[in-house]
Amino acid sequence: MKIIAVAASAALLLAPTASLAQKSGSRPDFTLEPNYGSVRLESGFTPDPWTKSILAGGSVPASAAKSGCEGSVSAAPDLQLNFTAGELDLTVKATASEDVTLLINTPSGVWYCDDDGGGDLNPMVTIPNPEDGRYDIWVGTYDDAMVQSTLQISELGGSDETGGGAPDTALEPNYGSVTLRTGFTPDPHEKSILAGGSIPASAAKSGCEGKVSAAADYQVQFEAGDMDLTFLVESSDDTTLLINTPNGRWYCDDDSGGGMNPKVQITNPQSGRYDVWVGTYGDDMVQSTLKVSELD
């Protein structure tokens, strides 16, 4: 069992999670709710590697967990892995266009950390003879900037990708999913999205603009009627839009929504799953609002 430091005060343990996660001078704390949720994997899982888009960084030194660990992380773990082990080693790797670090706490309370073990500036930790149980994972940076990264979990060793790759409809969407049926209300349906990533949208379709994350930002399960389906992004910055439809067709746009807002209108839409990415023109993450409508 993991042991909570005796020095932690009762008042700190009772503080709201958000305040605790941002408290200056605190330490990585596996009792906090993970920033990007949890996943349960069993030996032999597919696809391998399992991946998750993570906005890396924070204000807490990783060395507060283990002396010599590099980078700054959030107080809360970025991801919680509940793992059923087999006979294979467990490898955790992070890839990004900038220098990131990795911090892991195992079910028995052992800390692992790495900076560049995955090649270039990518960290990688391989755990031999892994235990069953909970692994808490942090992805860190070297300053206060937040960096878009892709976390990989594998039993087959680390992938050689270093921030490249392509948008992948098989990955879990960053901001969840929604089921909409023609005539839905309110119309438009809105979702707040932190746009951007390290992967060129053109890797999905030639000519598409901007950079996106590997995973879709949002997934729309849609039951179509007789009306067109419109996707629009509103932001104070220049954003782009990339969509994969139920039949596998890619749509993309830059400024058709007016100003710097992208818009895609799909005539005679099919019923099924629409995977949606919101991109930017640089490495910065940009706050945006995705709108889905039948009335536009």
pLDDT attached to residue 165: 66
Interatomic CA distance for residues 238 and 77, integer angstroms? 31
What number is the average pLDDT over the span 30-57? 91
* pLDDT value, residue 163: 40
> Comparing 27-154 with 177-293, is the CATH topology the same?
yes
In the prediction, which pLDDT does 22 show?
A: 38
pLDDT band, very low/low/confident/very high, at 199 (cuts 50, 70, 90): confident
Render 247-278 in DSSP notation, one character per residue: TS-EEEESSTTSTT--EEEESSPPSEEEEEEE
Q: Supply the Cα-derived Rg of the chain in whole angstroms.
A: 20
* 3 state SS of 20: helix
Question: Under CATH, which number does the domain 27-154 receive?
Answer: 2.60.120.380
Percentage of the residues of the chain whose pLDDT score is greater than 90: 63
pLDDT at 25 over 70: no
- Reported as a pLDDT band with limits 50, 70 and 90, residue 2 is very low
- Ordered by start, the domain boundaries in the chain are 27-154, 177-293
pLDDT digits (tens, 9 = 90+) for 201-245: 988 888 899 999 888 999 999 999 999 999 999 999 999 999 999
CATH class of the structural domain 177-293: mainly beta
